[in-house]
């Protein structure tokens, strides 16, 4: 291949990668995802493969799709029994074939707080063994690339997959360039859950630890919440296949995932409780680090008892408090929120003059489509029509 051909090939790959990154960002940082990250109220469990996709095949003919469905349903039953305040949803409960996109859309539409995809491994050698759990990242080893290609390859079973996945080819190493540009908004939480799962596998069930890995896995990239993909073991290994297909083996592995979820939930709940107790007054006006200084019009927050109405620009609404370090909130000045019913509503700017907020809206309307001015008087939100009557500047 000559140098010109190589250049065009690399350039096309970059253009493709950038375009697909923009598409994936619509999934990852969509408004649906912004309320997640605090509290564990809904968990989506994803038994890999299914239907016309059997997944890996074991030494003695075990089908991955059947094994992981059994473990997934057991895991969910343990969570429902021991964590009754948590809703458990499944991407499939029988031998059906939801596409990767459908699995991700299901979790995103459910506004899940966790996504756990359960799989089993297999290679040509019968000697490979052990458990590993993946979070989103670039393929840093041949093994990680192999796993990513295997798990992503199911898209080729879908009709018109080239169009649905914007030309992504799971078998082409060039396609994985896109994942080098991506940063998951919930990486820290995902790693925490993955670590807890691996600890349970190794310390409580006695499985071999292949550690937490990073991989370019589509279901982890397109889900808008902390997400992991866990490999229960190698069904290509006779000993592991025997253990994993036994009643005890399935119960032990499901119990390990449940215990990890419980510990993760306890961690998140304790942090959330601390945040609420310490931030009832402080977090009603969130200061974002490394931003520009507030403008001169920034005179009030909704909690202050101003004698004239104060106007702000409402940009987001969320059922939960959003982490102030979330990508969607970075670079904002004078960010604050107020609670309205069950939702937390986020605003930027603060002025006694409505014209200032209308100007601010023009600046941010592309970033936050549907943003609009709101008014507060003596600490309470009031209609704009009423605020205009009370305001000397409008």
Residue 166: is its pLDDT beyond 70?
no
Q: Helix, strand, coil shares of the chain as percentages rounded to 5?
A: 45, 20, 35
- Which one, of 355, 347, 344, lies nearest residue 312 by Cα? 347
Residue entry with tokens 């945040």: 275
Average pLDDT over residues 67-73: 98
Instruction: Please state, in angstroms and rounded to a whole number, the distance separating the CA atoms of residues 263 and 139.
Output: 28
Q: Which of 12-16, 29-33, 196-200, 356-360 shows the lowest per-residue confidence on average (mean pLDDT)?
A: 29-33
At 162 the pLDDT is 63
User: CA-to-CA distance for 100 and 275, rounded, in angstroms?
Assistant: 35
Query: Between vectors from CA 302 to CA 296 and to CA 303, what angle results, nearest 5°?
Result: 110
Contact by Cβ (8 Å): 190, 135:
yes
Give the residue, 330 or 92, on which the prediction is more confident: 92
pLDDT of residue 285: 40
More confident residue, 202 or 18: 202
Residue 145 binned pLDDT confidence (cut-offs 50, 70, 90): low
Greater confidence (184 vs 253) lies with: 253
Residue 285: partners with Cβ closer than 8 Å, 6 or more residues away: 301, 303, 334, 335, 336
Percent of the chain with pLDDT over 70: 70
**Residue-averaged pLDDT of the chain:** 78
* Residues 184, 190 contacting (CB under 8 angstroms): yes
Query: What is the spatial order of strands in the sheet that 343-351 belongs to?
Result: 285-286, 335-340, 343-351, 310-318, 372-377, 380-382
Point out which residues pair with 285 in neighbouring strands: 336
Phi and psi angles of residue 320, each rounded to the nearest 5 degrees, phi first = -135, 160
Six token digits for residue 224:
């808008």
Whole-number Å distance between alpha carbons of 281 and 246: 54
Quick check: 165 pLDDT over 80? no
Q: Is the dihedral of CA 44, 48, 50, 52 positive or negative?
A: positive
Query: Does residue 393 register a pLDDT over 50?
Result: yes
Mean per-residue pLDDT, 85-112? 94
Q: Give the lowest-confidence range in 132-136, 185-189, 245-249, 280-284.
A: 280-284
pLDDT at 134 over 50: yes
Task: Give the DSSP letter of residue 83.
Answer: -
CA atoms of 15 and 22, how far apart (whole Å)? 11
Mean pLDDT: which of 71-75, 137-141, 361-365 is highest? 71-75
The lowest-confidence range among 7-16, 70-79, 284-293 is 284-293
H/E/C letters for each residue in 47-71?
Answer: ECCECCECCCECCCCCEHHHHHHHH
- Confidence (pLDDT) at 378: 86
The percentage of residues in the chain with a pLDDT greater than 90, rounded to a whole number, is 41
Q: pLDDT (tens digit, 9 = 90+) per residue, 220-270?
A: 888 888 999 999 999 999 999 999 999 999 999 999 999 999 999 998 877
Contact call for residues 220 and 136 (beta carbons, < 8 A) = yes
Report the pLDDT value the prediction gives residue 315, as an integer from 0 to 100.
Answer: 86
Would you tell me the crossing angle of helices 238-245 and 247-279 to the nearest 10 degrees?
70
Q: Is the pLDDT of residue 42 over 50?
A: yes
Say whether pLDDT at 108 is over 70: yes
Q: What's the CA gap between 12 and 27, in Å, rounded?
A: 23
Confidence of residue 182 (pLDDT cuts 50, 70, 90): low
pLDDT band at 392 (very low <50, low <70, confident <90, very high): low
pLDDT(193) > 80:
yes
Residues 176 and 146: their CA atoms lie apart, in Å, by 12
Task: Look at residue 277 in the predicted model and tell me its pLDDT.
Answer: 39
């Amino acid at each position: 291949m000559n140098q010109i051909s190589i250049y065009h090939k690399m350039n096309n790959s970059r253009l493709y990668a950038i375009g697909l990154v923009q598409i994936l960002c619509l999934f990852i940082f969509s408004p649906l995802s912004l309320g997640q990250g605090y509290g564990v109220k809904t968990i989506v469990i994803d038994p890999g493969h299914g239907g016309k996709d059997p997944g890996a095949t074991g030494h003695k003919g075990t089908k991955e799709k059947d094994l992981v469905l059994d473990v997934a349903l057991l895991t969910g039953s343990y969570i429902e029994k021991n964590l009754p305040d948590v809703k458990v949803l499944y991407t499939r409960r029988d031998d059906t074939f939801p596409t990767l996109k459908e699995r991700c859309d299901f979790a995103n539409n459910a506004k899940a707080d966790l996504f756990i995809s359960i799989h089993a491994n297999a290679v040509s050698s019968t000697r490979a063994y052990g458990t590993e759990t993946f979070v989103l990242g670039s393929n840093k080893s041949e093994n990680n690339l192999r796993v990513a290609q295997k798990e992503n390859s199911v898209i080729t079973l879908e009709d018109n997959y080239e169009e649905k996945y914007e030309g992504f080819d799971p078998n082409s190493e060039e396609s994985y360039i896109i994942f080098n540009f991506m940063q998951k908004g919930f990486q820290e939480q995902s790693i925490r859950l993955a670590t807890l799962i691996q600890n349970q596998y190794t310390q409580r069930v006695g499985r071999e630890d292949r550690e937490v890995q990073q991989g370019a896995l589509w279901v982890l990239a397109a889900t808008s919440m902390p997400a992991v993909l866990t490999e229960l073991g190698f069904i290509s290994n006779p000993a592991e296949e025997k253990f994993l297909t036994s009643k005890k083996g399935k119960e032990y592995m499901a119990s390990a995932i449940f215990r990890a979820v419980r510990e993760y939930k306890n961690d998140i709940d304790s942090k959330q409780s601390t945040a609420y107790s310490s931030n009832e007054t402080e977090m009603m006006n969130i200061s974002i680090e490394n931003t520009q200084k507030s403008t001169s019009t920034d005179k009030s927050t909704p909690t202050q008892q101003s004698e004239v109405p104060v106007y702000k620009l409402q940009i987001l609404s969320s059922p939960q408090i959003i982490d102030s370090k979330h990508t969607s909130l970075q670079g904002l000045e004078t960010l604050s929120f107020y609670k309205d019913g069950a939702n937390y509503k986020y605003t930027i700017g603060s002025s006694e003059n409505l014209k200032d907020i209308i100007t601010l809206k023009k600046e941010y309307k592309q970033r936050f489509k549907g943003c609009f001015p709101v008014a507060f008087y003596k600490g309470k939100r009031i209609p704009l029509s009423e605020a205009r009557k009370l305001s000397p500047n409008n």
